[in-house]
A and B are shown apart, each in its own frame.
Chain A
Amino acid sequence: QKEVEQNSGPLSVPEGAIASLNCTYSDRGSQSFFWYRQYSGKSPELIMFIYSNGDKEDGRFTAQLNKASQYVSLLIRDSQPSDSATYLCAVNPGGGSNYKLTFGKGTLLTVNP
């Protein structure tokens, strides 16, 4: 069973702080990794993806990947109340299932004004 683990939270940070969201995965052969944001009552929306070790930055968001440690993280700089949502980590196991994703259960982030 390929698993993706996230701390369910809630993670609470003050406005302007850095929020750090973490995800581990069990399948060492996984090839690409995704972060989705889901507001309450809404559908998941893609924030970022990463497939190479290291950091990938997009505006206030940075995704970090360490395949040796089977660990992927999302940093949100200058957190805003509008960032309050559940963040889902998803992993593409690759191989013959290139278009299937396994999702973690999500981390609830609350940014306090």
Chain B
Amino acid sequence: DAGITQSPRHKVTETGTPVTLRCHQTENHRYMYWYRQDPGHGLRLIHYSYGVKDTDKGEVSDGYSVSRSKTEDFLLTLESATSSQTSVYFCAISGRQGAQETQYFGPGTRLLVL
């Protein structure tokens, strides 16, 4: 798993409640990413980070915020969860394989918003 862990691995929550997902890496990589994966949509980038306190939006960032106070941790927060945010969330880090930079994924978090 390229030294990436995600917590929690499964979560059930209610509409309107805040939810925070954590991604932790042991690889000291600069770039970290949050994706969501839904049937019919594939993997879509929510937010990414290119360093401590440096983050930017992806294609589906509405309703999500992120924070990165340490190199190893990247947090994804749903301020007020909605049923449309029921999904599988993957964290990824960007690492180098030879001369090529590529992405490696964590195990995922399954989130159900009731």
Contacts and interface: CB of A to CB of B under 8 A. Distances in A.
The range of chain B's interface size is 20 to 34
A46 B101 contact: no
Nearest to A4: B42
A105 B104 CA distance: 18
Q: Name the prevailing secondary structure of the B interface residues.
A: strand
The range of chain A's interface size is 10 to 19
A43 B100 contact: no
Contacts of A88: 42-43
A43 B90 contact: yes
A71 interface: no
Interface stretch (A11-19, A60-68, A72-80, A96-104): A96-104
Contacts of B94: 99
A51 B100 contact: yes
A44 to B, nearest CB: 5
A44 B40 contact: no
Contacts of A46: 97, 102-104
B43 A98 contact: no
22 contacts: A42-B107, A42-B108, A43-B1, A43-B106, A44-B90, A45-B105, A46-B97, A46-B102, A49-B100, A49-B102, A51-B100, A88-B43, A99-B94, A99-B101, A99-B103, A100-B33, A100-B45, A100-B58, A103-B42, A104-B42, A105-B42, A106-B42
The 10 closest A-B pairs by CB, nearest first: A105-B42, A103-B43, A43-B105, A99-B94, A99-B31, A44-B105, A103-B42, A43-B108, A49-B100, A43-B107
Given A99-B48, A100-B45, A105-B41, 19 more contacts: A32-B100, A34-B102, A34-B103, A42-B107, A42-B108, A43-B105, A44-B105, A45-B105, A46-B103, A46-B104, A49-B97, A88-B42, A88-B43, A90-B103, A99-B31, A99-B101, A99-B103, A100-B33, A103-B44
